[in-house]
């Protein structure tokens, strides 16, 4: 079984303080993994590490031949300027970045693909609308349409269904499940444990330290969740240098 990402004793963090502490394991090619844990548990940092926005403070991350544009990454919404004067169609067309880059023109076939992607997320006919006029849920659908167009073998989702209504999250979740069915690798940070139990074969419970990682039914057990809640959200300015694995 080949791995999309292999982590060997990896620590990610900021200013030498670990946010993900000594994580070892791998995300198999074609696996669909939910990452759960309390706030401040390092879930977003883990995704940022996988995409390469954060470099390991220690340990080794292997991306096993994945190129940067093989990975589609959906960050938490706050980082996007939704008041920017750009149309829905142009936003979706950005999904062609891997082929078009900075300079190449958009072809008619690519435009057709983007139109179909908008149809697939239930936003047919929205192409000319400015993104500023969309609701949060509609905007999330647009970002999913962009990921459809990106057509990447690996997809990282950071709390994709936050502040999204039940209908929209059900629609979008169906797309994620379909991606899994097509053999893509999916890693998603989620809070809704029922959703995880029903849809995600694998789960990683994390609370800065890894708590449990494996088949969802095995991993999502009361003692693991209790353990995760117990772990302090500690940021100690005078923390000692971590010696684990050194001595």
Partner 1 sequence: MAVYAALIEPFVEFGFMRRALVACLALSVGGGPVGVLLVLRRMSLVGDALSHAVLPGAAIGFMIAGLSMMAMSLGGFVAGLVVATLSGLVARVTPQREDASFAAFYLISLALGVLIVSTHGNNVDLMHVLFGTILAVDDASLLLVVSIATLTLFALAVIGRGLIVECFDPGFLRAVGAPGAIVHFVFLALVVMNLVAGFHALGTLMAVGLMMLPAVAARFWAGEVASLAATSGVIAFGSGYAGLLVSYHAGLPSGPAIILVAGGLYIVSFVAGPRGSLRVRLTPRRHLEA
The nearer residue to partner 1, 1 or 102, going by C-beta atoms, is 102
Q: CA geometry: angle at 74 spanning 73 and 76, to 5°?
A: 135
- Applying the rule CB under 8 A, the residues between 212 and 241 that interact with partner 1 are none
Segment contacting partner 1 by CB under 8 A, of 33-41, 80-88, 187-195, 219-227: 80-88
Sort residue 103 into left (φ over 0), alpha (ψ -120 to 50) or beta.
alpha
Q: What Rg, from alpha-carbon coordinates, does the chain have?
A: 19
Could you please report the per-residue DSSP string of 88-105? HHHHHHGGGHHHHTTTPP
**Owner of token pair 């994390």:** 206
Minimum distance, C-beta of residue 58 to partner 1, in the bound complex (Å): 21
Which burial class, exposed, middle or buried, applies to 47 when counting CB atoms under 10 A from its CB (0-12, 13-18, 19+)?
A: buried
- Applying the rule CB under 8 A, the residues between 101 and 140 that interact with partner 1 are 101-103, 130
Q: Is 7 in the site for partner 1 (CB under 8 A)?
A: no
Interface residue with partner 1, options 16, 24, 53, 135 (CB under 8 A): 53
Segment contacting partner 1 by CB under 8 A, of 2-10, 28-36, 57-65, 66-74: 66-74
60 contacts 111 by C-beta, under 8 angstroms: no
Interface residue with partner 1, options 5, 12, 27, 73 (CB under 8 A): 73
Residues of the shown chain interacting with partner 1 in the complex, contacts defined by CB under 8 A:
51, 53, 68-69, 71-73, 75, 79-81, 84-87, 91, 94, 97-98, 101-103, 130
């Amino acid at each position: 079984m080949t791995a999309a990402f292999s982590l060997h004793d990896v620590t990610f963090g900021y200013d030498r303080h670990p946010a993900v502490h000594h994580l070892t394991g791998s995300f198999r090619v074609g696996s669909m993994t939910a990452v759960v844990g309390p706030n401040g548990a390092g879930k977003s940092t883990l995704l940022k590490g996988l995409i390469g926005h954060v470099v390991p403070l220690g340990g080794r991350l292997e991306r096993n031949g994945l190129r940067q544009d093989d990975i589609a990454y959906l960050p938490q919404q706050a980082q996007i300027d939704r008041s920017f004067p750009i149309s829905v169609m142009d936003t979706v067309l950005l999904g062609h970045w891997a082929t078009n880059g900075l300079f190449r023109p958009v072809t008619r076939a690519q435009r057709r693909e983007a139109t179909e992607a908008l149809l697939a997320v239930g936003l047919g006919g929205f192409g000319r609308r400015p993104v500023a006029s969309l609701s949060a849920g509609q905007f999330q659908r647009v970002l999913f349409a962009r990921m459809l167009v990106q057509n990447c073998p690996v997809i990282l989702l950071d709390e994709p269904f936050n502040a999204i209504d039940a209908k929209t999250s059900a629609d979008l979740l169906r797309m994620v499940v379909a991606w899994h069915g097509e053999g893509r690798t999916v890693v998603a940070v989620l809070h809704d444990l029922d959703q995880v139990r029903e849809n995600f074969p694998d789960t990683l419970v994390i609370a800065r330290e890894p708590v449990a990682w494996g088949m969802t039914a095995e991993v999502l057990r009361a003692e693991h969740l209790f353990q995760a809640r117990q772990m302090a959200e500690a940021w100690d300015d005078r923390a000692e240098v971590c010696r684990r694995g050194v001595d």
